[in-house]
Amino acid sequence: MHLLQPPHAPSGPSLVLRQDRQRRRAGTASVHLGIVYSGDPLRIPLFSQSLFSLDLSDAIAATGKLGFYGIELACREPHFDLKTAQTDPVQVANEIREAGLVVSALSL
């Protein structure tokens, strides 16, 4: 098995190249590619627009319960629209923090 990984990235996703040596000798060799994760788990945020059926508070809570790393806030109703940004930014920030999330982006 050979690990193909950039030298500057000691942990994270690695491309694995595996060849069955017995099949290679028999002339029926095949190569298998896959991704192996080492070190920290892959950090994936959820775009809040995918939860537009929920209000922002419920979308934040659901994102945390689903195990995502962070949330990308859709900057329009029913989520982080201009009114919410002007009147409740501290409350939204506290809800995100309590859910164990980070804000990965603000999407206009």
Percent of the chain topping pLDDT 70: 61
| 58 and 20 in a common domain | no
In the numeric block, which tokens belong to residue 33? Answer: 């590619």
Res. 98: pLDDT tops 70: yes
State pTM to two decimals: 0.63
Return the closest-CA partner of residue 59 out of 84, 86, 82. Answer: 84
| Domain, as residue range, for 31 | 2-38
Tell me which of 36 and 87 has the higher pLDDT.
Answer: 87
| 95 and 73 in a common domain | yes
Please, what is the Cα angle at 44 between 42 and 48, to 5 degrees? 170
Res. 13: pLDDT tops 60: no
Structure confidence by residue, pLDDT tens digits, 23-62: 556 665 555 545 455 555 667 899 999 999 999 999 999 9
Q: Please, which residues bridge with residue 4 across strands?
A: 15
Would you place residue 6 in the very low, low, confident or very high pLDDT band (cuts 50, 70, 90)? very low
| 103 and 54 in a common domain | yes
Strand, coil or helix: what is 13?
Answer: strand
- The confidence score (pLDDT) of residue 42 equals 63
| 55 and 16 in a common domain | no
| 58 and 103 in a common domain | yes
